[in-house]
Amino acid sequence: SIRIRRAGYSVRRPFKEFFNRFRVLCPSITAKGNTDPDHKELSKRILVEMEAKFEREKNPVEAKSWQVGRSKVFLKEDLQGRLES
């Protein structure tokens, strides 16, 4: 955890919490009625989709702005702010 924070990933969110908070940004990414969805994979898809969106808007995010761990998504503060806005 300390190593991740030192690498600049100050925001940590469990996959389910991340997905539930940011799924509105990518309405096409859904759990499709699955009673036990893979929140890790859904979270990664949201992050990849948002990276592509920022790139299309000519406002790309910094390289390696996020990482996926065993149970959480790790974000740099800048990306967190952009997802929230």
pLDDT per position as a tens digit, 6-48: 778 999 999 999 999 999 999 999 988 888 899 999 999 999 9
Query: What is the token pair recorded at 26?
Result: 């990518």
pTM exceeds 0.85 for this model: yes
Cβ contact 79:73 at 8 Å:
no
pLDDT attached to residue 32:
85
**Sequence-separated (6 or more) residues with CB below 8 Å from residue 18:** 39, 43, 46, 72, 73
**CA-based nearest residue to 47, from 8, 10, 15:** 15
pLDDT attached to residue 35:
86
Residue 1 has pLDDT above 80, yes or no: no
pLDDT, one tens digit per residue, over 48-84 is 999 999 999 999 999 999 999 999 999 999 999 999 9
